[in-house]
Structure 1
């Protein structure tokens, strides 16, 4: 017996939902794409992560594209293990800490010498910064160079050398520096290798030193927050200072009385955007005269369109395959050709 519904066979009803029919396309778009877009535009500010591991991520930084200031775009990565990393032309470096009150970040360089190495010097690479960014190497860094060639590097006690050769004083590597005589955390780690202290003026001078020295280590002076004379202690690492661009639009955006948004930017134009709970604003979240922008942080739109395309493509492939294999029954449905 032929099963019918409102004058149509069940197979005819299924044909309405096969690829190419408008009902089929509308149904898949409704199920796959529209709910996803709705979920994305409900809370734009929630797309910006506020921490990575135990390190807070505040303005001007962001680890999600479109968050923070465009000056620091694509410079921070949060690994799958929750390690925040800083990207420079010389590589990716783990971040130990970020201080916003005294704007700087502390980096560790796994290629530099450490106490465990002793006289066993590993291959290293010079740390460098992109000069087009708003980062600078802190003047609170000191550099120690180990096992340097005396034929190419001037290694002498700096006070004595500067008295004899004042015009070459800046080029000397101080072999009697305090840090060489009191290596942080491991005063007696070096037994037979030489050590001298020299502050490179630029990345190129650091590369030049490493051509004639086995390795190096960066030491920064951590402020203990107490009165002098013992207000700083040396620790291994690289201190990098940064600028916080302060704008009236960002201050208004962050103002809780005006909606408490998050400062961000348009990922295409890099113009300022205030990321709010229900979309993006060009001023602040509670500005009634401001038109809301539906553009979301880069990556999320792509994810939706890809997911929708995959879902639609999979549905089309499956139904085409079923339709090709379905027997010609002239509308008669039996146990042999039943789809469900």
Structure 2
């Protein structure tokens, strides 16, 4: 009878450790009115490894940081896997900012598979020099990459009052003996909006929210709309993890996938018996559990002799 009582007691003791009820949304957090969820995160080890050290919450303002600079995050749309960024030195229809103060958009090479401006996002590069890589071979041949994107481009942008405020008449901005003052193009055509390397004085960025149609540049939505994605294998892993009450994360050193299950992490999901201790260290409860198992096993063997 005593043996049965010991086993029942041990089962009650070990169930919370071996079969964790999970840590649903332990990685979910908030910054101001924005929800931070997978694949993004604010805490080390949470989210997808490709998005680590990307977001920072400063005085309830969510900031996005890449090699070209820091941007304010205006929105994260998890359904469409997109986010909207704001650069304080981005030119709009109301204000044209020159002097090379804008960030542009340059993402680290290893992040490129996960983050890129959306296909309907137009970048308009302003005041680029004749030596700019954009105009190599100009005026001979068709080497200038400038073109409209989703119905938006420089021809329309020249109609903004801010050009006249700068003392630049519309007719003086069109193609002439030199390259255009404004060159609109999609991100994919250059892969990097680096104002210094492109020798440009400023830039604007706008995107469409189809099927919305607007009448002109004064009604465009200005900002940088970025698409994000993760591998299909990560999606499957994350769904399995969350289905068992866990939160999707990664190993901060090896960058492998981890399902965060409260006091322990798993390489599969929170229903598995095999577990990886947080930080790679054995917890006090693990040590206690192991000692009790050993003690009971020895006691049972001695009682049967």
Structure 2 CA distance for aligned equivalents of residues 293 and 183 of structure 1: 56
- Give the corresponding residue for 1:61: 40
- Give the corresponding residue for 1:237: 223
Please state whether the residue corresponding to 2:201 is helix, strand or coil: strand
- Give the corresponding residue for 1:190: 163
Of 292, 297, 302, which residue of structure 1 is paired with 2:275?
292
Aligned length: 236
Structure 2 CA distance for aligned equivalents of residues 70 and 189 of structure 1: 42
1:278-333 CA distance string (max 9 Å, x none): 4323322233xx13333159xxx9xxxxxxxxxxxxxxxxxxxxxxxxxxxxxxxx
Give the gaps of 5 or more residues in structure 2. Answer: 1-19, 174-180, 284-305
Instruction: Answer yes or no: is the 8 Å Cα contact 1:153–1:172 preserved in 2.
Output: no
CA offset at residue 77 of structure 1? 1.4
Instruction: Answer yes or no: is the 8 Å Cα contact 1:141–1:221 preserved in 2.
Output: yes
- Give the corresponding residue for 1:145: 125
TM-score by length of 1: 0.57
CA offset at residue 138 of structure 1? 2.1
1:115-169 CA distance string (max 9 Å, x none): 45357767334321112112123221212233455x55799xxxxxxxx97x41x
Change in CA separation of 1:196 and 1:279 when aligned onto 2, cut-off 3 Å: same
- Root-mean-square deviation (CA, aligned residues, Å) is 4.0
CA offset at residue 190 of structure 1? 1.9
1:247-267 CA distance string (max 9 Å, x none): 333221111xx3x21111222
Of 256, 263, 276, which residue of structure 2 is paired with 1:271?
256
- Give the corresponding residue for 2:77: 99
Structure 1 CA distance for aligned equivalents of residues 107 and 97 of structure 2: 28
Change in CA separation of 1:196 and 1:51 when aligned onto 2, cut-off 3 Å: same
